[in-house]
């Protein structure tokens, strides 16, 4: 999509020094020519390191935490048009052990983004979500489900400001921070790769694909959508085989808060969802589909899903095998 959405616009990117943030910043600067790109994060070292690779006159690095509403207000005082909200505490085990800290960032931080965006007359806000927000069994997933609900409901609060809020959801990002790939590579020397459960499956998406999807959805959004990217699935045993084909695989048991398979669209939400060529769109208020301005996205006619449809990693129609995985990670 050759969008002009970001051209001559001021963009605030929270969590801007993370894996997604780094890729999104590069994408926007190379393809869309924004007036200003504000990298908002709380890690000064990561900001310094990122500034060594992204040396652009339109980039501003801003130290801050989404928990701090006043600091967010200061960052948006420059006249921000679009907010891409990627800041989150996302490690499942960390969230289980530090639940209140997870809620402060993922839930209360989302509330701060909403309030300051409305007060600052921001035009569009895209919140980055995760497949773990669907039928969550861990605190991280539950906090992101709550965050998603807040952003969708925020469309009822914007009033005269007219701020629009939407959510982008996709699965595990390959080789992002916290990915299992570096761990598997470290274990090669031992001759054994530990696998929690050999039946485990996950969705497969690259950080570049995630960043481009978020950019595209920023153009398509009208407010109130959850955009769900279609992605192939992979078996965890194929990932281990691609990284270390010479190693044995040892099953060690599933961890606390971990699912055997991930789901990006539940049967319950599928009722309020329509299918498009490259994604699904969920609208909590299904009546919106009956309004003319909600019929077409990207000049596509929406397709109603069959009864009891569910989009899960183990029942997905599209898969990547060990050889395809190997081509990407090597």
Q: Are 90 and 140 in contact (CB under 8 A)?
A: yes
Closest CA to 143 of 189, 114, 181, 109: 109
CATH architecture of residue range(s) 10-171+205-230+264-305: 3-Layer(aba) Sandwich (3.40)
pTM: predicted TM-score of the whole model, two decimal places: 0.94
Cβ partners under 8 Å of residue 39, min gap 6: 13, 16, 17, 21, 25, 47, 50, 59, 60, 61, 62
- The structural domains of the chain, with segments of one domain joined by +, span 10-171+205-230+264-305
> Can you tell me the distance from the alpha carbon of 57 to that of 265, in angstroms, rounded to the nearest whole number?
41
Mean pLDDT by 10 residues, the chain (330 residues): 81 96 95 96 96 94 98 96 97 94 98 98 98 97 98 93 96 79 90 96 94 96 95 96 95 92 96 94 68 64 92 97 85
Closest CA to 210 of 181, 266, 264, 171: 171
Closest CA to 200 of 258, 260, 242, 132: 260
Q: What is the pLDDT of residues 129-175, one digit of tens each?
A: 999 999 999 999 999 999 999 999 999 999 888 999 999 999 988 86
> Can you tell me the distance from the alpha carbon of 45 to that of 170, in angstroms, rounded to the nearest whole number?
28
**Tell me, what's the pLDDT at 329?**
77
Q: Which residue has the tokens 């939400």?
A: 269
- Please identify every residue annotated as catalytic: 132
């Amino acid at each position: 999509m050759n969008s002009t959405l970001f051209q001559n616009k001021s963009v605030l990117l929270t969590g801007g020094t993370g894996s997604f943030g780094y890729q999104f910043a590069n994408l926007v600067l190379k393809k869309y020519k924004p007036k200003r790109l504000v990298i908002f994060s709380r890690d000064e070292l990561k900001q310094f390191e990122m500034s060594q690779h992204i040396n652009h006159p339109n980039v501003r690095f801003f130290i801050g935490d989404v928990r701090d509403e006043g600091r967010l207000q200061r960052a948006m005082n420059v006249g921000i048009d679009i907010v891409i909200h990627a800041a989150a505490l996302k490690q499942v085990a960390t969230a289980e052990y530090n639940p209140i800290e997870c809620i402060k960032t993922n839930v209360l931080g989302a509330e701060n983004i909403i309030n300051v965006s409305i007060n600052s007359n921001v035009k569009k806000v895209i919140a980055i979500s995760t497949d773990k927000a669907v039928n969550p069994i861990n605190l991280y997933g539950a906090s992101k489900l709550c965050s998603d609900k807040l952003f969708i409901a925020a469309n009822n609060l914007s009033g005269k400001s007219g701020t629009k809020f939407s959510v982008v959801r996709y699965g595990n990002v390959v080789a992002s921070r916290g990915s299992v790939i570096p761990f598997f590579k470290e274990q090669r020397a031992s001759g054994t790769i530990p696998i929690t459960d050999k039946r485990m499956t996950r969705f497969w998406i690259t950080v570049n694909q995630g960043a481009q999807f978020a950019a595209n959805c920023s153009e398509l959004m009208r407010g109130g959508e959850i955009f769900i990217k279609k992605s192939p699935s992979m078996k965890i045993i194929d990932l281990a085989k691609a990284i270390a084909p010479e190693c044995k695989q040892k099953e060690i048991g599933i961890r606390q808060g971990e699912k055997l398979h991930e789901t990006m669209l539940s049967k319950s939400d599928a009722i309020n969802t329509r299918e498009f060529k490259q994604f699904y769109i969920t609208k909590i208020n299904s009546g919106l589909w009956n309004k003319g301005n909600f019929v077409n996205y990207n000049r596509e006619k929406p397709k109603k899903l069959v009864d009891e449809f569910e989009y899960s990693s183990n029942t997905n129609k599209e898969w990547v095998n060990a050889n395809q995985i190997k081509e990407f990670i090597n």
